[in-house]
Amino acid sequence: MSPPRRHPWSFRSRSAAILDAVRRTQRHRRRHRVRKLHTAAASSSGQKDSSAQTNGHQGGISQGADNMRQQDIFEKLPEDIIHHIHYLLPIQDAACAACVSRAFLRSWRCYSKLILNDHAVGLAHIEFEERKIPLIDKVDKILKNHYHNGVEVESLNLILTFCSNIKASYLDRWLRRTVKSGFKELYLEMPLEMKKIYNFPCSILSDEGAASSIQSLRLAVNCAFHPTSTLGCLRRLKILKLSLVHITEEGLEHLFSKCSALEELSIFSCSGIICLKIPSTLQQLKLLYVNRSKMPRVVEINAPNLCSFHYENAPFPHDSALSEIYVRNCSQLKHVNLASSCPSRVLSYARTSLPSIARNVESLILGSCDENANTPVLQSKLPCLKYLEIKLTSLAGFPPSYDIFSLVSFLDASPALESFILRYMYMQANQNDWAHYPIVGDDEECPRRKVDLWHNRLRQVTITGFCSAKSLVELTVHILESTRSLERLTLDTTWGYDRRIYGTTGKCPSARNIGQCWPMSKRAVEEAHRAVKTADRYITGRVPLGVQFEVLGPCSRCHTGNQ
């Protein structure tokens, strides 16, 4: 009969209890040592009496009994429970536990989860510039002890932020001693300022034992990664994340040919790639992230089971053009996020291309900066789209010809749409001026066109950065008049109460800094107050009964106009 399953929370609660007992035992031992020192001092000065000696002896016996009872608690636990609790503890607490318990000491000798950085090895109290040498020494000692004691490391998280001139020989030795058969996870982060880029030793993955066991590989900052045909078969590798790493297309081709089980791929700010090709051999790939700086000019995706694709191009003028993106054989693609930090035509591209390359998409997030073309009106559809978020940002002001109302093309193309969020940030580059599109004429001039398509599933609509631009008001009125299923409409005249600076949600609290609103200039605050009046004049009276309607003005605590 198989043993009864334990609830995972029981491990956590027992882990906390054991750690608390470990700390109590440490305190008892320190007090016991202090008592012994006082007793020895009293004996040498001839000032001890028999009663004190008796009391001290009895106290020592009592304290020793307490320690033994603590030891008994640990010794009675099953070995697999000890290992599991020890594995869940941070490395400092795990080492601390090993100092006061024989059971945890035995577990420590085969402790396989290593997180090595300046805080984990106890260097947080040392000045930043003085941490380099002790960090290298401690890491070297820990890995050397594990290696000489025959301990198999399963996970290594090595962050060398302060070691700008660390020798490659150290890193090579550490990796060769650690990445062996049974090794599962590697995260290596090098310093931002390096005299020489570190060449990751791909030869350690040429060993079939090490290659076949690794499940997660993450390399970050100032690394060069150049796999060759000698690479072993990475049959269990599920997660690959490369950040600020130099890798060539040929190297990626060799790598992908060995990663048939890959499920998550992230390429962030990597150089050396002109054409990124995701081959059909990656049958298990579910998530693909291609983000920032030196981007490939062409992205070709042919992964049949890809579910989520995130793409953001570089915030640099020479990389401002949107890459050519080709998606084939991706019927499982449900979530797409396309964004540009430079002037581009993300919205036009999405409206034109997505219906053919991602027809089954259910969640779509689009981010465009200084969109320079109106969204085209087309007959193509996104029949499965349920969630749509569009982020429109302008640093220098949209051209006068740009028409926000053209976004209705996405609504008309999405018969299953349930939630629509429009984030509209319209500001000058210096954040000290705001462009106005005043509403002119009476209420009858607001509707742009007669309703010919009804949105029968749209329930939630949020517009942040709502202002008095005429085309934005027209879009809002059109949504109200064409949506019979609408349950809630929120017009936020700020840059988003739902996007807090510290990640919290809801309105800004009045008595603390946590949840501070995004800053707004004096001109922006004035426009926000004007937008509240515009909403009251042109929107409020058109909201059907039963629809929750809210207009959010500037925050009285954060939006004082002094930013």
Give the pLDDT confidence of 446-458 residue by residue, as tens digits.
555 565 667 889 9
Does the pLDDT of residue 211 top 90, yes or no? yes
Q: How confident is the model at residue 395 (pLDDT cuts 50, 70, 90)?
A: low
Token pair belonging to 99:
């100092």
Residue 176 covered by a domain: yes
**Identity of the amino acid at 80:** D
Average pLDDT score over residue span 329-348: 87
Residues 187 and 68 in one domain: no
Whether residue 44 is predicted with pLDDT greater than 80 in this model: the reply is no
Q: Do 92 and 234 sit in the same domain of this protein?
A: no
Whether 538 is covered by a domain: the verdict is: yes
On average, the pLDDT of the chain sits at: 78
DSSP 102: H
Let me know if residue 71 belongs to a domain: yes
211-225, 230-244, 517-531: least confident range: 517-531
Calculate the alpha carbon distances from 143 to 18, 112, 118 in Å: 26, 11, 15
For 400-424, write each residue's pLDDT tens digit. 667 889 999 999 999 999 999 999 8
- Give me the mean pLDDT over the 91-109 stretch: 69
Element (H, E) at 53: helix 50-76
**Sheet with strand 275-278: strands edge to edge:** 275-278, 298-301, 324-327
In a domain, 400, yes or no: no
Domain span including residue 155:
112-262
CATH number at residue 157: 3.80.10
pLDDT at 435: 44
Q: Do 434 and 556 belong together in one domain?
A: yes
pLDDT the model gives residue 86: 66
Alpha-carbon gap, residue 174 to 166, rounded angstroms? 12
- End position of a domain, from candidates 227, 262, 297: 262
Q: How many domains does the chain have?
A: 3
Report for 292-301, 303-312, 428-437: range of highest mean pLDDT: 303-312
Which two tokens mark 406? Answer: 């053209």
Answer for the pair 280, 301: CB distance below 8 angstroms, yes or no.
Answer: no
Residues 423, 559 within the same domain: yes
Q: Please state, as a whole number, how many other Cβ atoms lie within 10 Å of the Cβ of residue 358.
A: 24
**Do 103 and 177 lie in a common domain?**
no
Domain match, 105 and 206 both: no
How much is the average pLDDT of 89-107?
70
Is 80 exceeded by the pLDDT of residue 382? yes
95/201 same-domain check: no
Phi, psi of 439 (to 5 degrees): -80, 130
Sign of CA dihedral 277, 280, 282, 285: positive
d(CA 454, CA 479): 9
Q: How far apart are alpha carbons 222 and 275 in whole angstroms?
A: 21
pLDDT at 446: 57
Domain boundary (46, 80, 111) is at 111
Tell me whether residue 506 is in a domain.
yes
Residues 111-121, mean pLDDT to the nearest whole number: 79
| Among 174-178, 306-310, 464-468, the least confident range | 464-468
Residue 462 φ/ψ, nearest 5 degrees: -130, 130
pLDDT score for 372: 73
pLDDT score for 166: 87
Q: What is the length of the chain? A: 563
Question: Does residue 514 fall inside a structural domain?
Answer: yes
Residue 524 has pLDDT above 50, yes or no: yes
Nearest to 282 by CA among 252, 257, 249: 257
**Percent of the chain beyond pLDDT 70?**
69
- Residues in contact with 34: Cβ distance below 8 Å, sequence separation at least 6, in sequence order: none
Side-chain-facing half-sphere of 457: CA atoms under 13 Å? 15
Q: What is the mean pLDDT of residues 450-471?
A: 85
Name, in order, each residue with C-beta under 8 angstroms of 56's C-beta and a sequence gap of 6 or more: 35, 39
290 in any annotated domain: no
172 and 233 co-located in one domain: yes
Closest CA to 406 of 329, 465, 478: 478
Picking from 220, 236, 262, the residue at the C-terminal end of a domain is 262
Sequence-ordered list of residues with C-beta below 8 angstroms from that of 377, at least 6 positions apart, any chain: 406, 409, 412
- The H or E element spanning position 425 is strand 419-426
